[in-house]
Amino acid sequence: MDKFVLKNGKRLKCGFTTGTCAAAAATAGALMIFTGKTVANVSVRLPRGEILIIDIKDPSFNTHGVRCCVQKDSGDDPDSTDGILIYADVELDDSGEIRIDGGKGVGRVTQNGLDCPVGGPAINSVPRKMITENVHRICNEYGYRGGVNIIISAPEGEEVAKKTFNPHLGIVGGISIIGTTGIVEPMSEKALIDSLKVEMQVIKERGFNTLLAFPGNYAESFIDSTLGIRGENSLKYSNYLGEVLDFALELNYKEILVVGHIGKMIKVAGGMMNTHSHTGDFRMEMFACYAGLYGAGSHVIEEILSSVTTEQVLEILIREDLLKKVIQKISERALFYINKRVDNRIITKLIIYSNNHGILN
One digit per residue, the tens of pLDDT, for the chain of length 361 reads 566 565 555 667 888 999 999 999 999 999 999 999 999 999 999 998 999 999 999 999 999 999 999 999 988 877 889 999 999 999 999 999 999 999 999 999 998 878 889 999 999 999 999 999 999 999 999 999 999 999 999 999 999 999 887 887 789 999 999 988 898 877 667 778 888 999 999 999 999 999 999 998 889 989 999 999 999 999 999 899 999 999 999 999 999 999 999 999 999 999 999 998 778 889 999 999 999 999 999 999 999 999 888 999 999 999 999 999 999 999 999 999 999 999 999 999 999 999 899 999 9
Other C-beta atoms lying within 10 Å of the C-beta of residue 88 = 29
DSSP strand E in the chain: where? 4-7, 10-13, 15-16, 41-45, 51-55, 57-61, 66-71, 85-93, 98-102, 108-109, 147-153, 171-172, 183-184, 210-214, 234-236, 255-261, 347-354, 358-359
Q: Are 157 and 106 in contact (CB under 8 A)?
A: yes
Shared-domain flag, residues 146 and 276: no
Buried b (16+ CB within 10 A) or exposed e, 305-344: eebeebebbbebbeebebbeebbebbbebbbebbeebbee
Question: What's the CA gap between 23 and 26, in Å, rounded?
Answer: 5
What is the H or E stretch that residue 287 is in?
helix 283-293
> Do 180 and 196 fall within a single domain?
no
The whole-angstrom separation of Cα 216 and Cα 239 is: 8
Per-residue pLDDT, 10? 64
pLDDT of residue 222: 92
Same domain, residue pair 111 and 260: no
CA 215 – CA 245 distance, rounded (Å): 13
| CATH number of the domain that residue 46 is part of | 3.30.2110.10
| Residue 62 half-sphere exposure toward CB, CA atoms < 13 A | 13
For residue 53, give the 3-state DSSP assignment: strand
Q: How far is residue 71's CA from residue 58's CA, in Å, rounded to a whole number?
A: 10
> How far is the first Cα of the chain from the last one, in angstroms, to the nearest whole number?
51
Distance of CA 220 to the CA centre of its chain: 18
Residues 114 and 103: their CA atoms lie apart, in Å, by 19
Q: Return the pLDDT at 37.
A: 96
Question: 225: which residues sit within 8 A by CB, 6+ positions away?
Answer: none
Side chain identity at residue 108, one-letter code? R
Q: In this structure, are 217 and 343 located in the same domain?
A: yes
Whether 142 and 226 map to the same domain: the answer is: no
Residues 96 and 231 in one domain: no
Q: Are residues 209 and 332 in the same domain?
A: yes
Considering the domain architecture, whether residues 180 and 193 belong to the same structural domain is answered as no
Whose CA is closest to 178, among 351, 23, 3? 23
Q: Are residues 112 and 143 in the same domain?
A: yes
> Looking at the structure, do residues 107 and 178 belong to the same domain, yes or no?
yes
Q: Same structural domain for residues 36 and 172?
A: yes
The letter for the amino acid at 71 is Q
Residue at which a domain ends, from 161, 184, 207: 184
State whether residue 169 is helix, strand or coil: helix
pLDDT digits (tens, 9 = 90+) for 131-188: 999 999 999 999 999 999 999 999 999 999 998 878 877 899 999 999 888 988 776 6
Cα angle value 283/285/287 (rounded, 5°): 70
End residue of a domain, out of 184, 200, 235: 184
- Single residue among 139, 154, 184 that ends a domain in this structure: 184
Domain extent at residue 142: 4-184
Per-residue pLDDT at 7: 57
Mark whether 238 and 353 lie in a shared domain: yes
Q: What is the pLDDT of residue 66?
A: 98
The number of folded domains in the chain is: 2
